[in-house]
Structure 1
Amino acid sequence: MKTKGIQACGFGCSFSYNKLIRKAVSVCYNKLPCKAVSVCYNKLPCKAGSVCYNKVTCGAYWHLASRKERKDMHMADALVAPAVAGTMYACSGAAMGYSMKKVRLENAPEKIPVMGVMGAFVFAAQMINFTIPGTGSSGHLCGGMLLSAVLGPEAGFLSMIGVLLVQCLLFADGGLLALGCNVWNMAFYGCFVGALVIWKHVMKNGMSRKKIIAASILGCMFTLQMGAFSVTLETLASGITELPFGVFVSVMQPIHLAIGLVEGLITAAVLVFIYEARPELLWGYNASGLENAPVGRMSYKRTIAVLAIAAAVTGGLVSLAASSHPDGLEWSMEQVAGTAELEAEGNAHTAAGQIQEATAILPDYAWKSSESVTGTSFSGIFGGAVVIFLSVGVCYMLRLFKGRSVKHE
């Protein structure tokens, strides 16, 4: 979405306003101290009121909001050209078609509630940006490795698509034009590479807590490196001159190595809990054939309930403590281009932005007309519920699982 600059109400200051993320930034450009700034938050005349800043020198940027600013966590449309976007939609679509076929052949209806609950948990966890010490950057869970370790690569990939689709359409998180890129960078590598290259081989001779921790950390770090490198290739192919390939790569890869380490630790904690509570929920466990395999401490229903509660608490409460630092991609863009918001013009970008404006009922995970933190909490719970509904609904509508029924204690 192109950011427009608007003249403020007199005092030698201007500000920019982005409709998608409801953000206003005032900039003083003269030599006089800023004593008062009136901004137009939506449409003229001014409705946002006046904000007074005394004893402040000009040239500073002020975020006019009563809550922590939350930014897009995924690739924006401005980073991809229509041709690149179409190519990545085709690649991601092919992977989705393959996954649907494999899930039908597998025919494991017991995965349906797990797909919904784990998808909701990943949605909620992605709302939490954790600070990367000493960098001024933050990171968030991708979730592909986590989902594939529980559901398998194909079902995990489909669940990740549901999460990214809900984020894009309902919360304007990540561009609609760039959705195919985001699915490939976050879901494909995390689910297919993470599960088939890392998880499957580490668990070849049986599972253990140490193996789960090792596979989680190694898988997250490796797949995030692949995803980050893909972003740089996509911007290169799109001709984004503000982000020179060599410089962009040299910044993107190290910061996502650190983010991958933290995600690996979080993923390991969740998977170890599942392993101890109900180990057969983990992908490949039943094929291990170990006679001394541990017996779960919880029933199937109780384990699912605990995960559902964890998703609700994470989205509704823990998300309020998210770091306000830019995420790895935004931070890298700021280091290279000096800004995390590039402009893009063209019919495809305009159309995609208009569709998102129409579908985003909670843009930037917040109320459209209020700065209350309740918008973030509601977004976390509501979004998780939508992911569950979408995951379960699509499974039944498309008959991905049919035939046998499974009873759980």
Structure 2
Amino acid sequence: MSDALVSPPVFAVAGAVSLALLGTAIFKVKQKRNEDDPSAQNERIVPLMGVMGAFVFAAQMINFSIPGTGSSGHIVGGILLSAVLGPWAALITLASVLVIQCLVFADGGFMALGCNILNMAVCSCLLAYPLIFRPLVRGNLSTGRIFAASLLASVVGLELGALAVTAETELSGITALPTGKFLMFMLPIHLLIGIGEGLATAAVLCAVRKYKPELLVDIRRTGGTGKTSWGKALAGLSLAALLLGGSFSWIASSDPDGLEWSIARTTGADEPEAADDPLHRTAASIQRTTALMPDYDTSLAGIVGSGAILLAVFGLSSLFGPSRRQP
């Protein structure tokens, strides 16, 4: 979402809820490390969050066309991250991706950042993954179950996000978007995007299940990994992120994404300009100052962004450190 869709009250509420959930996520991840939870893998969870965040950032740059619509979509990555990191660590990682996209690349509004975290990270990591994906696999990560769970969870996560965008826009009340018509375009196009994300997620998870099963949180939780080679796994993921960000992003579709397409179909015009009030002007000023590569205007954007995600997650690592235990 851009700032043009978000009013100050919605900005405040969405920001407060997002910060509260991220604070809870940091506490949960730290608690797991203190309890020696095998799914957290103690010292390994932070580098894994970093490389997975870089991978998802690079993958999000590849917009795929939706045939017959003139629109495009990209993966959100919440289900993939949750399957590897667990939902709370995935929430932190995906939120880090959204913050870097907002501040460094001016992708998504500064005032809309809390909404975007709720719509993309919370809906997929804290709702679709635990309520849909995990019950469907039930510890049985067969190819069929992975595909079924990935497809359904991705579709549910995207549809919940589309509903949330529509509700936030309506509650903001600063645009002329008619809610019913807007929703009529948002839900079908995000259904198709969700199917595309589900297939991509399933393909990646099946490859991980075959070659590096120790990366999957459900396998780590049961202790069924045997001897792990974490260095090679992390190096492989880092290389994949660099390849995606540095090369494959060039073939991304130039069609408008699902939200832009829905706005254009609803109003017959491009997305409206942000309101001219002090808060919107301040948000725009902050973003102009921090956006070193607005609109990904360099071929190195994918590599730079992937590196920024790694630094951001490692910079947060002190928050996840195990507490000292009293003798």
**Equivalent residue, structure 2, for 1:174:** 108
**Equivalent residue, structure 1, for 2:72:** 138
Deviates more, 1:310-319 or 1:300-309: 300-309
Q: Distance in 1 between matches of 2:95 and 2:270?
A: 25
Conservation of the 8 A alpha-carbon contact between 1:148 and 1:194: no
Q: Distance in 2 between matches of 1:103 and 1:206?
A: 24
**Equivalent residue, structure 2, for 1:115:** 49
TM-score of the two chains, using structure 1 as the length reference: 0.74
Residue 124 to residue 159, structure 1, CA distance change in 2 (3 Å): same
**Equivalent residue, structure 2, for 1:91:** 17
Q: Distance in 2 between matches of 1:185 and 1:273?
A: 28
Residue 241 to residue 165, structure 1, CA distance change in 2 (3 Å): closer
For residue 341 of structure 1, report the CA deviation from its aligned partner: 2.2
Conservation of the 8 A alpha-carbon contact between 2:133 and 2:152: no
Deviations 1:18-42 (A, max 9, x none): xxxxxxxxxxxxxxxxxxxxxxxxx
Residue in structure 2 matching 1:219, options 146, 153, 166: 153
Q: Distance in 1 between matches of 2:175 and 2:91?
A: 32
Conservation of the 8 A alpha-carbon contact between 1:152 and 1:283: yes
For residue 98 of structure 1, report the CA deviation from its aligned partner: 0.8
For residue 97 of structure 1, report the CA deviation from its aligned partner: 1.0
Higher helix proportion (structure 1 or 2): 2
Deviations 1:344-371 (A, max 9, x none): 22111110001100110111111xxxxx
SS at match of 1:176: coil
Deviations 1:214-250 (A, max 9, x none): 1111111000000000000000001144211111111
Conservation of the 8 A alpha-carbon contact between 1:103 and 1:401: no
Higher strand proportion (structure 1 or 2): 1
SS at match of 2:217: coil
Q: Percent identity?
A: 47
**Greater than 6 Å deviation, 4+ residue runs:** 293-296
Deviates more, 1:173-182 or 1:240-249: 240-249
**Equivalent residue, structure 1, for 2:292:** 361
Residue 143 to residue 194, structure 1, CA distance change in 2 (3 Å): same
Conservation of the 8 A alpha-carbon contact between 1:104 and 1:401: yes
**Equivalent residue, structure 2, for 1:6:** none
Q: Distance in 2 between matches of 1:209 and 1:392?
A: 33
Structure 2 segments unaligned to the other structure (5+ residues): 34-41
**Equivalent residue, structure 1, for 2:7:** 81
Deviations 1:273-300 (A, max 9, x none): 11112212112223457xxx6879x833
Cα RMSD for the two superposed structures? 1.7
The reply on whether 1:203 has 2:137 as its aligned counterpart is yes
SS at match of 1:110: helix
For residue 205 of structure 1, report the CA deviation from its aligned partner: 4.2
The reply on whether 1:402 has 2:322 as its aligned counterpart is yes
The number of residues matched between the two structures is: 315
Deviations 1:286-317 (A, max 9, x none): 3457xxx6879x83322222211111011111
The reply on whether 1:334 has 2:260 as its aligned counterpart is no
**Equivalent residue, structure 2, for 1:262:** 196
Whichever of the two has the greater Rg, that structure is 1
Residue in structure 1 matching 2:88, options 151, 154, 159: 154
Deviations 1:45-72 (A, max 9, x none): xxxxxxxxxxxxxxxxxxxxxxxxxxxx
The reply on whether 1:383 has 2:305 as its aligned counterpart is yes
Q: Which amino acid aligns with 2:233?
A: T
Q: Distance in 2 between matches of 1:159 and 1:79?
A: 25
Deviates more, 1:318-327 or 1:232-241: 232-241
Structure 1 segments unaligned to the other structure (5+ residues): 1-74, 367-374, 405-409
Conservation of the 8 A alpha-carbon contact between 1:130 and 1:322: yes
Q: Which amino acid aligns with 1:81?
A: S
**Equivalent residue, structure 1, for 2:37:** none
Larger RCO (CA under 8 A, 6+ residues apart): 2
